[in-house]
Every structure is written in structure tokens, then in C-alpha cells.
Amino acid sequence: MELLILLVQRQGELLSRDEIAGHIWGGDVFLDVDHSINTAIRKIRQALHDDPEKPRFLETIIGKGYRFAAPVTCSNGNSDPVNRDESTTIVPLPMVQKVSDAPSISTTSTRVGPLRIRTICRGTAVLAMAAVLAAAVMLRIRTKEYFWKSPVTGVRFQTVTDWDGGEQAAAVSRDGHFLAFLSDRDGQTDVWITQIGSGQFHNLTHGRAPELVNPSVRTLGFSPDGSLVTFWVRKPDGRTNISIWAVPTLGGEPRPYLEGVAEYDWSSDGQRLAYHTPGPGDPLFVSSGMIQMTGRRIFTAPAGLHSHFPLWSPDEKFIYFVQGSLPDKLDIWRIARDGGTPERITFHNSHVSYPVFLDRRTLMYLATDADGSGPSLYSIDVEHQIAHRLTQGLDRYTSLSASADGRRVVVTLASPRTTLWRFRLDDSPAAVTEPSPISLTTTTGFSPRLGPNYLLYTSATGASESIWKLAGGVPTELWQGNGAWIFGGPAISADGRFIAFSVRQSARTVLCVMDQDGTNARVVADSLDLQGDPAWAPDGQSITTAAGDHSNPHLFRVPLNGHSPSEFIRENSLDPIWAPGGDFVVFTGPDIGTSFSVNAANPDGSMHALPPLSLTRGARHFAFLPGGRRLIVLRGEIHHKDLWLINLDSGAERQLTNLPSGFDVRDFDLSPDGHEVVLERVQDRSDIALLDLMRP
């Protein structure tokens, strides 16, 4: 309330975070105060139903602060402007839902028009208090659903599979009788099926399908009559050869089903098809009749964004979908089946996926939490639009599906294990030694980075993540943040003396720097929506990092001398890494389909010429060999990649490793001398679980 009063009093003025802290907390600026500012800003936006990407009331000025942008209008009730000290303020607010507080009687919901609060304007403080009261009333009304009940209360999770390895992408048929999923039980990843309750499982593809794994889309489904299992495939020639194939539920030869389509959903009557293609913005189409690719395009996501998981509403009036920036700046939207302006339904701004309807109003989906944990099970009433987390603890769900009547739900419950491995890279890397595991005292190890004679990595235990250093066989914890998520890999300065890393805590991101022994940790940027890996500039005086600007990431320079961050690369860009000589920086472009481009820029921001290079989604980190003209990248399928060496002068490429199919590398790094490589290996351990919901 105090922050809203201050913002309205200073309407139209830019207020820095320091100025806000000074007015409200007396200038004692600590990390917790910054967190309080973020929490207050978020609550104000929730109360005013204000979209942070398209604000009507509260603007965020990146790197500078906040501004209350809406005009404050005073009138005497007859629309005649009068002196501010004698006028009446009218504060229009969004539509609110009025629900009785009495739980013992039957009630009905009533729509209330724009809320207007009138009071005598005795200066801007009274104006502000009117807005505060209106916002507080609205927030209380909107955040209470007195008759809401979790759809999974008292429901037992029944394990369907308990195999070694990983099962994923579970899908249940419309009638709830059959369950399909992906599994590597026979060595390679295949499509499997079971009749629920039979205890018998059948491999439907036996290695006959191309690449099957893509966690960013709904890869498995059923035809409306349940006679076919459909699956996403990508042929080895790249991003343009993506299609939906099908195989008979009772077994048979796989065949094309929807050529050139990345995802689809049939309407409840099986007469309309919603689908999107893998082009830029994932164009969404609606087609009538049988399977004919002559649909009418109704939506394309803005440049740099994705639009996945199309889903018909039960009444067939809307198509719901997940839109945003991959992998963790996403939310659920909906659009009328004939097109128009999409409406945002959730406001997680996290990794959101797999929406399904349980009934005409109850939407269940997966989303990561503000601290980066999860994904967890969530539910929302699409009329009230208030999200509820359904599960507690550290469970991690990676897929979700429901039968047409919402009575049967299947989920994938995952517990991935990450380990670190190393191998030697000789001066002539014609032959590479086999990777060997690195023994760690922590339970997990990921995001490895190599400094001079030491290894950095991140570890997670419960709700805490920490940065560890391994030197001479001795492990040391350098930094630990309770409830904080360290995203991206830490960056080591060229001389090895300093470490930069990005942290997300309660939906806020900060860029930190500490000495290589873990001392003198400090925040160097707290106003950017940081994304991806940071990188030290060649002179060691600034850090290059990506930050979101209306969901599209751009590269920024963050000086260490306390000056404000400045934009460096305007185009869509992530995960920078500077060449050893500092004459150019390499970065990745936006995902299109399942691939992204690799680009470069000079220190002045102009583009630097590179041979054409496109890589598959899943890992974006690079490493330069000494000399600065040879780049090591990860290339291959989304869930299985090898290291390749790219000559940036000639464009010549050479494969450095030939890792087995179960060796899934998500990150890596190269030592400063170019002789040691450390790999982050992920081993998926996941099972399918069934929930039988007794719904009215």
C-alpha cells in the first residue's frame, strides 16, 4: 500500500529502486528489501490486472526503476474539471468477480462493471489512498475462491511403470482405456502402449521411427477414435522436416499422419483440427473436416516467441495454448477459434506446459515455481483465472494428459540424476579419451566451468542451491542461497580471480560477482530480467549477459563500477562467449522449430561474419580453443549430442566424441589450456503414474 501511495503521488515520474527503498524502508537497502519491492510490485499488478509486458498502469524501466503511467483524473462528479483540492477522483479498475463469503449457503457469481471509487481530493495522498483501497478490495476478492477445491485432494498416485531408465511424454486415450508413452527400455527410445490395468506393455515402433524426444511440445497423442497413437518426429536433416506420424494402437507399421505439423488437437466432436507448424512464431491453424492441411491461420506468435500445446476448450469456443520464450518465460493464453486477439490466462512467466481440461472450467497444467523448483501440478478455473498449486514438496512432473471426461489423469514423475565427467583433448584431437566420472562429495553436480587448476559446479539439495569449487581434489562450498535458483553456468574471469553468476529468487533475478575463494560476494545488477549464461568481457571490467525485453532476450553490458547496464546487441541473443583475443563475441539466436542459429558481433555491436551454423535445441554453451578461431559445440538430437569442432575461418567441422545413446550431455566446458573437457551428464529416471478422479 505504501509503495502504491508513493507511485500515485509521483504519477508520471521515474522512481529508482534506491529511491523507493529510501522512502519506505528508510534507506536500509538489503537483498530482502529488494525482494519486498518485487513482491509489492507484483501484488499491485495483480490487483490492477496489469500485464507487465503491456502495462496500462505500472511501467518497469529496465535498469532504472518504475513509473505509474496511468493518468489520475479528478472531477466533481459532473465531469467538470475543478481544482485538485476540491475534486472527486474516479479510479477505473478492471472487471472483478463478486462471490459471497458465506460458505454455508448456495451462491451465484455476479459480474460487476468497472469499479469506481469517489472521494474528496485533498491532495495526491487522498487520491493515492482511494486507489489503494480499490486495489486492496479487488485483490482480496480476486485471490479468494471460497468454493474452490483441489481436483486431486485425496487421490492416490498409482505407479504404472517402475522400470530402470526413463519413461516420458505420457498420453491417455479419450476414453481413458489406453496409455502411450516414450521409453528407452529396449535401448533406443520407442513408443510404448498399455491397456490401463492390464499390466502388459507393447513396443509399437521398435526403432523404426526417427528422433522422437522433444520436451517442449506434446509429442504423443491419440486419434479421436483411439485407433491410432500419434507421435512427433524429426528426421535427421533438421528443423524443416518435422511431422506427426501414427501407428495403430494394436500394432503395425508407422506412417505419416500430419506432414509438416509440429502439434495438433482435435475438437471434442472430432470435426475440427487445431495445429501449428514449426515455422517462426509457430503459426496456428484451424481446419474443418477430415485430415486436410488446408486450415486457416488464426495466430502467429510475435517474433522470437513460441506457441505450443494447442488445446480445444470443451465448448469449442477457444483454443488454449502456451506462449512465450523458451524454456522458462511461458504462460497459458487462449484465442477464439476464428482468431482475434489472444487473452492471457496465467501469469507464471516460468516453464509452463501440458494444459488439459478436466471439465468445461477446470484447466490443469504444469509450471515451475518462482524459485525454479518443479514443474509442479497446477489448476485454474478459466472463468475466475486464479492459479492454484496442487502438489507440495520437491516432486517434478514432466508430462500430463487427461481422458475426455477428466476422470483419468496420467503424469510423468521424474527424478533426473546429474553427474560430471572429464576427458583429455590432445593437441591433435583425432583421438579422444573415453570420459571418466568425477567423484563429488555433493549429491548432484551440474553447470561445470573450468578455471586455472580448478573446477566450478552447481549443486542442489532440497530448496537450496550452491556453487562449489574442486581444486587439488579438495571440495569447497563458495556460495549458498536458500530458496535461490542459480541459472546458467557461472562465468570465470580470464585470470581466474573472479566468478560471476546469475540467481533467481522469488521471481527476481540478480547478477552477482565474488572472488574465486567465495569472499566479497556482491550484487552488480538487480534491475534486469536476466537469462542464460553470463560472460566476462575481455578487459574484465564488465559482464556481458542476456536480459529479457518484452520477452525477447538481448545482450547487455553490466559495468562493475556501479554504472547502469547498457544494451549491447539489439537482436534476439543469448549465452554470449567472448573469443580469447576479445575481438568478437559469439552468441545464439532464437529457436525456430527445434534449431537456433549461431551469430557473432564485434565489440562495437556490429555483426561479425561467421560461417553459417545452426544447432539443435537443448544445449547452447560453446568453448573456444586457444587461438580464438576454433569453436567447440554440442551437436545432435535434442536429448543426445556429441562434441564437434568448428573452424570459424573455413567452416570445416569435425566430430570429437561418439558417446553412447544413453549419454545425454546438457552442458560442458573446456579448460583454459584447451586440454581438458568436463561434461554434465543427465540420466533420466522417471515413471508414469495414474490418478483416477471421481468428478461429478
The neighbour count for residue 135, using CB atoms within 10 Å, is 23
Work out the pLDDT band at 137, boundaries 50, 70, 90. low
pLDDT value of position 118: 39
pLDDT at 107 over 50: no
Among residues 630, 682, 680, 638, the alpha carbon closest in space to that of 656 is found at 630
Per-residue pLDDT reduced to its tens digit, 189-220: 999 999 998 989 999 999 888 789 898 999 99
pLDDT value of position 194: 95
pLDDT value of position 83: 39
pLDDT at 294 over 80: no
Residue 672 CA to residue 669 CA, distance in Å, equals: 9
Residue 618 CA to residue 115 CA, distance in Å, equals: 47
Work out the pLDDT band at 54, boundaries 50, 70, 90. confident
**Mean pLDDT on 564-577:** 92
Which residue has 494394436 as its cell numbers?
Answer: 250
Q: What angle do CA 151, 152, 154 make, to 5 degrees?
A: 120
Q: Phi and psi (nearest 5°) for 635?
A: -135, 145
Mean pLDDT rounded to a whole number for the chain: 83
**Cβ atoms of 303 and 270 closer than 8 Å:** no
Residue 169 CA to residue 177 CA, distance in Å, equals: 17
What secondary structure letter does DSSP report for 208? -
Work out the pLDDT band at 79, boundaries 50, 70, 90. very low
pLDDT value of position 56: 86
pLDDT at 470 over 90: yes
Work out the pLDDT band at 89, boundaries 50, 70, 90. very low
pLDDT at 269 over 80: yes
pLDDT at 152 over 80: yes
User: Domains in the chain and their CATH numbers?
Assistant: 2-99+112-142 (1.10.10.10), 165-350 (2.120.10.30), 417-427+437-683 (2.120.10.30)
pLDDT value of position 129: 59
Cell of 381: 478455473
pLDDT value of position 240: 52
pLDDT value of position 108: 32
Work out the pLDDT band at 45, boundaries 50, 70, 90. confident
Reported as type and span, the H/E element at residue 359 is none
pLDDT value of position 399: 95
Beta strands 474-482 and 595-601 are unpaired
The alpha-helical segments, DSSP class H, found in 482-630 are none
pLDDT at 550 over 70: no
The neighbour count for residue 129, using CB atoms within 10 Å, is 18
**Mean pLDDT on 662-677:** 90
Cell of 631: 569453436
State which of 6-20, 641-655, 682-696 shows the largest mean pLDDT. 641-655
Reported as type and span, the H/E element at residue 692 is strand 686-692
Instruction: Using alpha carbons, list the distances in angstroms from residue 39 to 1, 3, 55, 507, 508.
Output: 12, 11, 17, 9, 9
Per-residue pLDDT reduced to its tens digit, 308-354: 999 999 999 999 999 998 888 899 999 999 999 999 999 998 899 99
Which range (78-82, 105-109, 245-249) has the least confidence? 105-109
Residue 609 CA to residue 622 CA, distance in Å, equals: 17
Residue 419 CA to residue 444 CA, distance in Å, equals: 6
pLDDT value of position 106: 30
pLDDT at 623 over 80: yes
The neighbour count for residue 324, using CB atoms within 10 Å, is 24
Q: What is the CA radius of gyration of the chain?
A: 27
Work out the pLDDT band at 92, boundaries 50, 70, 90. very low
pLDDT at 81 over 60: no
Give 541-569 as a DSSP string.
Answer: SEEEEEEEETTEEEEEEEESSSPPPEEEE
pLDDT value of position 85: 40
pLDDT at 255 over 70: yes
Reported as type and span, the H/E element at residue 221 is strand 220-222
State which of 37-51, 127-141, 394-408, 549-563 shows the largest mean pLDDT. 394-408
What secondary structure letter does DSSP report for 128? H
pLDDT above 70 as % of the chain: 83
Helices and strands in the chain: count of H runs, count of E runs: 4, 54
Reported as type and span, the H/E element at residue 84 is none
pLDDT value of position 62: 72
- Torsion over CA of 21, 27, 33 and 38, rounded to 10 degrees? 10
**Mean pLDDT on 293-304:** 85
Chain centroid to Cα 652, Å, comes to 34
pLDDT value of position 20: 86
Q: What angle do CA 55, 57, 62 make, to 5 degrees?
A: 55
Bridge partner list, 500: 491, 513
